[in-house]
Amino acid sequence: MTCASLLDWLPSHWHYLVYIVLMMIGLYAVLAKGNLVKKVIGLNILQTAVFLFYLSIGHIDGATVPVKWHDDAVYENPIPHVLMLTAIVVGVSVTAVALALIVRIKETYGTVEEIEVLDIDERETAEQEGDAPA
């Protein structure tokens, strides 16, 4: 894409940049952070980026809420909003399960750092397999 066409593209499509940047922040946190809570936060940022993406594809400039006021009004597309209501519920459930698991992990391992959890797991697996005749 040339510089000039980018300048044409930007004013009408800048919201896609917002969604891509947010998504990359979320993805980075999920993959690179060692703290389990931070991973969950990253997952939430990632999901929020997807919500914004959906809402922006349903947007029409100068449109109003999709409630029938008068016949000549232009309405936003309500379907992406409805879809995202469901997706938000899903996001909340995933977060709830993730946090519940983190609480249990903290209780049993005494840490929420991924590396330490893996270390403990590895040591114990080695011990268990050491007992068993190969």
Partner 1 sequence: MIGEHLPVLVVVVPLITALLIPLLTRAWRGTGWGLVSASLAFSAFGAIQLLVEVLRTGVPARYSMGDWPIPAGIEYVVDELNGMVLVMIAVAGTLAALWMHQSVKREVLARARRSYYTVFLLFAAGLMGITITGDVFNLYVFLEIASITSYVLIAMGKRKQALYAGFAYLILGSLGATFILLGIGHLYMATGSLAMLDIAERMANDPALYSSSVVRTSFAFFTVGFAIKMALFPLHAWQPNAYTQAPSGATIFIAATATKVSAYGFYRILFTVFGPRFLLDELPQIKEAILLMCVAAIVVGPLLAIRQKDLKRLLAYSSVGQIGYIMLGVVLWSADQTHLDGATGGLMHFWNHAVAKGALFCVAGALVYKTGAARVADLAGMGRHAPWTSAVMTVAGLSMIGVPLTAGFWSKFYLCTGALEVGRPAAIVVLLVSSLLTAVYVWRLLSLVWFAPKDAEVKVDGEVPWSMRLPALVLGAACLYLFFQPIHLDIARAAAEGFMK
Nearest partner of 100 among 40, 52, 20, 45, judged by Cα: 40
Q: Where do runs of H (alpha helix) occur along 1-134?
A: 3-32, 36-57, 78-109, 114-131
Minimum CB distance to partner 1, residue 10 (Å)? 17
**Residue 36 token pair:** 């389990």
DSSP bridge pairs for 64: 75
Residue 120 contacts residue 106 (beta carbons within 8 Å): no
Half-sphere exposure of 120 (CA within 13 A, CB side): 11
- In the bound state with partner 1, the residue whose beta carbon lies nearer, of 25 and 50, is 50
CA 54/CA 58 separation, integer angstroms: 7
Size of the site for partner 1 (CB under 8 A): 37
Q: Which of 17, 65, 74, 101 binds partner 1 (CB under 8 A)?
A: 101
Contact flag: residue 129 with partner 1 (CB under 8 A): yes
Task: Assess 1 for contact with partner 1 (CB under 8 A).
Answer: no
Q: Which of residues 20-79 bind partner 1 (CB under 8 A)?
A: 27, 30, 36, 39, 43, 46-47, 50, 53-54, 57, 79
Residue 85 in contact with partner 1, rule: CB under 8 A: no
Candidate list 3, 7, 61, 133; residue touching partner 1; CB under 8 A: 133
Q: Mapping DSSP to helix (H, G, I), strand (E, B) and coil, where does residue 75 land?
A: strand
**What are the residues binding partner 1 (CB under 8 A)?**
27, 30, 36, 39, 43, 46-47, 50, 53-54, 57, 79-80, 83, 86-87, 90, 93-94, 97-98, 101-102, 104-105, 108-109, 117-118, 121, 124-125, 128-129, 132-134
